[in-house]
Amino acid sequence: MSPTQVPDWFIAPKPNLQAGLRLFCFPYAGGSAALYHTWSEHLPKTVEVCAAQLPGRGSRLCEPPIDRLEPLIEALGAAILPFLQKPFAFFGHSMGALIAFELSRFLRREKNLGPQHLFVSGRCAPQIPKTEPPIYDLPHDKFVMELQCLDGTPTEVLEHPELMDLVIPLLRADFAVADTYEYRIDLPLGCGITAYGGMQDNKVTRESLEAWRVHTQAGFQLRMLPGGHFFVQTEQSILLRSLYSELGQLMMRVAF
């Protein structure tokens, strides 16, 4: 798998034809494939990292972003199918965790396929009702204030009107994906689930991460790491060490 093979939906920063497993990674709201650009350097050599590049960012900047989860999952399901000829796993942070979860259910339902493991990070279990009002349709000034509170948008972007004009449509679309999501009951997944959370994340609690347990018929692990909601960036080295260990164990099971 190489970037030239999949210019639209997935980027493999270090193509690895000998890999025994592909790890597909999905970004948080406003994020891009760039978040995962160096991950393959810190994970087992038998794992090929494939980062999702969703419309409206990076090399797809000129494409309109998708603002609802169902069409996004359908598009991803069609795009990913040619690359599932070897074992695979999913990792997603925040919005990306929701995408990874629903894509797993879509592939099971439509193609009788599924990941070897699902890694969800920085996201409450999907069955937990939202208690906060949606923000994607707020007036401009209030929307920017919410972004400042979430602490996920760089200050240099928030303070640059021209940059904000570029990123706000993308951010509104991504928040709409999460804000309009409606959970539907289904059977638990056949793969194991590992949930990661930040110990200083005041919105995604340990209890809300523990609730992912009901979505697997296999093993469940909860791992709390230092940091707030964006520990995936601030504590990346700790997260990658944990993933290295988990993927190494997964590769041993896949080999048999």
Catalytic residue from among 94, 104, 121, 237:
94
- CA dist 196 to 82, 142, 160, 222, Å? 29, 30, 32, 6
DSSP notation for 86-138 = S-EEEEEETHHHHHHHHHHHHHHHHHS---SEEEEES---TTSPP-S---TTS
65 contact partners, CB below 8 Å, separation of at least 6? 54, 55, 56, 57, 169, 170, 173, 174
Q: Rg of the Cα trace of the chain?
A: 17
94 is catalytic: yes
Residue 193 carries which DSSP code? E
Q: Are strands 47-52 and 21-26 parallel, antiparallel or unpaired?
A: parallel
Q: Distance from CA of residue 98 to its chain's centroid?
A: 7
Catalytic residues: 94
